[in-house]
Amino acid sequence: MDASEFRRRGKEMIDYVADYLENIRERQPFPDVTPGYLRNLIPDHAPEEGEKYEEVFKDIERVIMPGVTHWHSPQFHAYFPTANSYPGIVADILSDAIGCIGFTWASSPACTELEVVMMDWLGKMLNLPEQFLSSSGGPGGGVIQSTASEATLVALLSARTMFIRKHIGPGDDPHRENAVMTKFVAYCSDQAHSSVERAGLIGGVPMRMLETDSKGALRGETLQLAIQRDKAAGLIPFFVCATLGTTPSCAFDNVLEVGKYAMSFNFNPHKWLKVNFDCSAMWVKDSRLLSDAFEVDPLYLKHENQGKMPDYRHWHIPLGRRFRSLKLWFVLRLYGIKGLQESIRKDVMLAHEFEAYIKSDERFEIFGEVVMGLVCFRLKGSNELNEKLLKLINDDRRIHIVPSKVKDTYFLRLAICASRTTSQDVRLAWNVTREITNGLMSSLKQ
């Protein structure tokens, strides 16, 4: 493919993508395929000679689309949103064309410097304390991680290194490090994302999953008692992860009780800020703690301007990193703060519309509180009844949702995921839910 054909095929693909997104309602949100479907649709080996582009393009609909879960369908209400926007897509095209691997400032100055500035822009939008911003002049700043899972692991490993050095001096027996680490213990709520528990597994430290209150929130007293018990047992508490908007029910830990001053903060612009995956924003008060944990400095990565700007390879786990700040820059400039606020408020409004539908039918109940864009609901009755309802809804294929369980109560989650979702789509989701519930309840009476 030369430049001339690239121009032609690129325009064709842009048209295909625009048609796909603008007509996505016509596609079933969840596919009708079984595991292994794709292997029978393509050869079992790569072609010896290059094929024609037309053949590859034709196979998008024949091979790929039948097995795609359409996350940006207005009828997709599972998990949480994953962001999507035309500015984000266009920015990713440019990022792929530049194709830099921004592990140091010298490897691509614009890649590093735009990320520094964009993380300050975003931090100011969130009204983060100044010490989290690089513009503060202190050691704080922001970095784009690939996911919240990676950000959590980075925070935990940095805290682990800090506490190892706190308890082991330069002249101590190096074998003592392992002995000290066996005493480390970390904490989160029993509603925290699975990636928090996984960070403990990878970091080699136990993660205490602390019981939450009736609203699914971790409280300060619970944490304090756990810390006191562990200290009395000779253990060393070193890390707490509080969650704002848990995955099971969008519960908020009581951060004022858990700890007034966080050392790091992370959230995903690739969920609700129209920045295509992946873009997970992490800020730290002291970036030196990250460098202490991850710095490896071979000669071939050194450069004459070290120390003047961040070398982000010291701030995260991989060495290589994409030019992800480009899509954040495009989105923030083209939507503006007000445009993003309007989008978020619309999703919250739509969630409350679905909540009103649920409350209008006495057979249902809301689980917890409706905050942000998530509605947790269930049929009054047993967990088994709600499991049947979920299966019937998803087997129907008109909408797609997922379940959750908190304190042995099984419920259904409906999230406003797609930017194209409207009140009509919410009404459809309710009509499908009500229709299938009517059929389920009728079958139980027979």
The 10 Å Cβ neighbour count of residue 270 is 26
Residue 376 · residue 410 · CB < 8 Å: no
What superfamily in CATH does domain 3-74 come from? Answer: dopa decarboxylase, N-terminal domain (1.20.1340.10)
> What is the identity of the amino acid at 294?
F
CA 411 vs. chain centroid, Å, equals 22
Distances from the Cα of 60 to the Cα of 63, 66, 214, 229, angstroms = 6, 9, 48, 57
**pLDDT tens for the 446 residues of the chain, in order:** 899 999 999 999 999 999 999 999 999 999 999 999 999 999 999 999 999 999 999 999 999 999 999 999 999 999 999 999 999 999 999 999 999 888 887 888 999 999 999 999 999 999 999 999 999 889 999 999 999 999 999 999 999 999 988 888 776 776 787 888 889 999 999 999 999 999 999 999 999 999 999 889 999 999 999 999 999 999 999 999 999 999 999 999 999 999 888 999 999 999 999 999 999 999 999 998 888 888 877 766 677 777 767 888 888 888 888 999 999 999 999 999 999 999 999 999 999 999 999 999 999 999 999 989 999 999 999 999 999 999 999 999 999 999 999 999 999 999 999 999 999 999 999 999 999 999 999 898 87
CATH class of 93-331: alpha beta
**Phi and psi angles of residue 159, each rounded to the nearest 5 degrees, phi first:** -65, -40
Distance set, CA 193 to CA 148, 190, 298 (Å): 10, 9, 36
Q: Which CATH class is domain 336-445?
A: alpha beta
∠ Cα 55 59 60 (to 5°): 125
Q: What is the pTM of this model?
A: 0.91
Taking the C-alpha atoms of residue 320 and residue 108, their distance in angstroms, rounded to an integer, is 12
Torsions phi, psi for 251 (to 5 deg): -80, 155
Q: Strand (E) positions, 156-278?
A: 184-189, 207-210, 236-240, 264-267
Is residue 287 within 8 A of residue 140, CB to CB? The reply is: yes
What are the residues facing 414 on neighbouring strands? 375
Q: How far is CA 213 from the centre of its chain?
A: 24
Give the number of other CB atoms < 10 A from CB of residue 144.
27
- Quote the CA–CA distance of 90 and 77 in Å, as a whole number: 26
Is the CB of residue 235 less than 8 Å from the CB of residue 183? yes
Strand-pairing partners, residue 265, are 283
Q: Are 218 and 179 in contact (CB under 8 A)?
A: no
For the chain, what are the domain ranges? Answer: 3-74, 93-331, 336-445
